[in-house]
Amino acid sequence: MRTLLNPESGEILSEAALSRRTLADLKGAFADEAARAALPQETEVYRVLTHENGEREGQEGGLFFGTSFVNPGKVGGEYFMTKGHYHAKRNTAEYYFCISGRGALILMDEAGHTWMEEMERGTLHYIPRNVAHRLANTGDEVLAVGDVNFQQKCLNKMADVSRGGRTVLYVSHNMSTIRQLCTRCVVLDQGRVIFDGDVEQAIAVYMETTDVNVVHYDLLDVSRMNASAGKRMRLETLDFVGKESSVFADTEKIRVRITWRVSEPFAGVHLKLNLHFRDSTPVGITHPVSLGAAVPGKLYTTEFEFDPSLLGEGQYFFYVDVFDGVLTQAVCLDKPVTEFAFEVTSGDLTMPEWAPGWGRIHFPPVKVLENGYDG
């Protein structure tokens, strides 16, 4: 058993059972057995922290939660990955929450159909019943994945410690957990303290550091979300079209232009946007759109637009995700780490200033179908 601490890295202040898997434990888990056998067998591939409740998995009440940590590395051409498993009770579903790192959730149903979902910090993944699953680390840092109960359990435990009189120093870009945990905040900018004090004031200062004056991005040399992104297809530039700043009224469309190339032929390239609020809270994704077929030797230019009218006032950013295949079996082609920032302002003068407690979605007015009174 072990005492753990950090909800962002996956460590938690509670007792947890720790198990490790080395290359010696994973015979038969990789396609290239010779490559696995040639590597140092004591190399740790992943570890699992399981928070148990005294019941055996598969029995009633034997519902565990925990965290898997997959180290970066490769066996031949394959990334380090977990062994994979069905649940002891196969008709139970599960949610996975990506705490840090980048990777892939690989799934297979009982008929042998397989598909993959990309994982990055903050993504939530549903694993249906009767589906085997394993994790692969496609990045260059540890991939930490917990089930959906995990992060709240961490936060609750840290809050208990704080109420007990001890000081907890919590470093994060996640504003929602900062609100939940902290009573005082220090904001740093390039290593310099720019604010020290009230939590809400600190969040406001942090939010104002978003640069919404950038309308052109050069993407050729920026880092990618995973090791394979940008190899076969690469985004070169992104522009907010016709704007001097990326501030948009909720009545206007956000128009974006990208340029890109491919290094091999593709029958179909697809694109979606992953939208986040400024504090990194996920807002949603756009429906995937086809960019058509592509061949090497050409510079492609694509313009698209999306409608921000459902977004409440505030600052947001999006990631661009380009992939091959249908979304449920998508293979990432390119995904720069760049956060493309923009701000939405309200053109409705009858609305007061957007309050944080209202959420992020500004729905259209309800439609009154009937209105009257008795008597």
Q: In this predicted model, what pLDDT tens digit does every residue of 311-344 receive, in sequence order?
A: 888 889 999 999 887 555 667 899 998 889 998 8
**53-67, 155-169, 297-311, 358-372: the lowest-pLDDT one:** 53-67
Could you read off the pLDDT of 200-217 as tens digits, one per residue? 888 778 767 666 678 999
Could you read off the pLDDT of 102-149 as tens digits, one per residue? 899 999 988 888 888 999 887 878 788 889 999 999 988 888 887 655
C-alpha–C-alpha distance, residues 258 and 82, integer Å: 36
Q: Is the per-residue pLDDT at 173 higher than 60?
A: yes
**116-125, 205-214, 238-247, 257-266: the lowest-pLDDT one:** 205-214
What is the reported pLDDT for 15?
A: 46
C-alpha–C-alpha distance, residues 137 and 42, integer Å: 18
CA geometry: angle 230, 236, 237, nearest 5 deg: 135
Q: Is the per-residue pLDDT at 85 higher than 70?
A: yes
Domains plus CATH for the chain? 2-150 (2.60.120.10), 169-207 (no CATH), 216-351 (2.70.50.60)
Q: What is the mean pLDDT of residues 176-181?
A: 74
What predicted TM-score, i.e. pTM, was given to this entire model?
0.51
C-alpha–C-alpha distance, residues 229 and 365, integer Å: 41
What is the reported pLDDT for 150?
A: 56
Between 160 and 341, the more confident residue is 341
What is the reported pLDDT for 185?
A: 92
What is the reported pLDDT for 72?
A: 93
3-state secondary structure of 370: coil
What is the reported pLDDT for 146?
A: 74
Between 280 and 42, the more confident residue is 42
Burial of residue 50 (number of CB atoms within 10 Å: 0-12, 13-18, 19+): middle
What is the reported pLDDT for 327?
A: 52
Q: Which residues pair with 117 in a beta bridge?
A: 105
C-alpha–C-alpha distance, residues 179 and 184, integer Å: 10
What is the reported pLDDT for 9?
A: 45
Q: Which residues pair with 319 in a beta bridge?
A: 274
% pLDDT > 90, the chain: 33
Could you read off the pLDDT of 16-74 as tens digits, one per residue? 567 889 999 999 999 999 999 999 999 999 988 765 544 454 444 444 567 889 999 99
Could you read off the pLDDT of 87-107 as tens digits, one per residue? 777 777 777 888 888 899 999
